[in-house]
């Protein structure tokens, strides 16, 4: 399962190509990527991270880590995704 998840991660990164980065950037005149896993998921790399945060602690029986990291990741993603989506909406309206 972990190998499959990593395959999805690389597929997402390869689909973004040179546009992949860790920052929230809006590139003028760039089109929204709609290939690879982005055809079906808006944030496939975040889905990969969520699955990893569940699988890896389960693999080692680290249930408290699973609970804590799931909560912290959900809080972080709720902010990050909201900011990313706002940036994309503003870019699309220009």
Q: Could you report the per-residue pLDDT of 31-89, keeping only the tens digit for each?
A: 888 999 999 999 999 999 999 999 999 999 999 999 999 999 999 999 999 999 998 88
Residue 54 lies in a domain: yes
Residue 78 belongs to a domain: yes
Q: Tell me: the pLDDT tens digits for 13-40?
A: 999 998 898 898 888 888 888 999 999 9
Give the total number of structural domains in the chain.
1
**Any domain includes 72:** yes
pTM for the predicted model, two decimal places: 0.83
Domain-embedded: residue 24 = no
Domain enclosing residue 49, as ranges: 2-19+29-92
| Residue at 67 is within a domain | yes
Residue 9: which residues within 8 A CB-CB, separation 6 or more?
45, 48
Q: How many CB atoms lie within 10 A of CB 37?
A: 19
């Amino acid at each position: 399962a972990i190998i499959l998840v990593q395959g999805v991660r690389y597929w997402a990164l390869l689909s973004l190509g040179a546009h992949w980065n860790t920052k929230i950037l809006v590139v003028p005149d760039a089109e929204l990527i709609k290939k690879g896993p982005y055809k079906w998921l808006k944030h496939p790399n975040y889905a990969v991270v969520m699955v990893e945060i569940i699988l890896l602690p389960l693999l080692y029986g680290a249930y408290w880590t699973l609970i804590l990291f799931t909560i912290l990741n959900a809080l972080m993603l709720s902010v990050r995704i909201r900011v990313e989506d706002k940036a994309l909406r503003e870019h699309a309206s220009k």
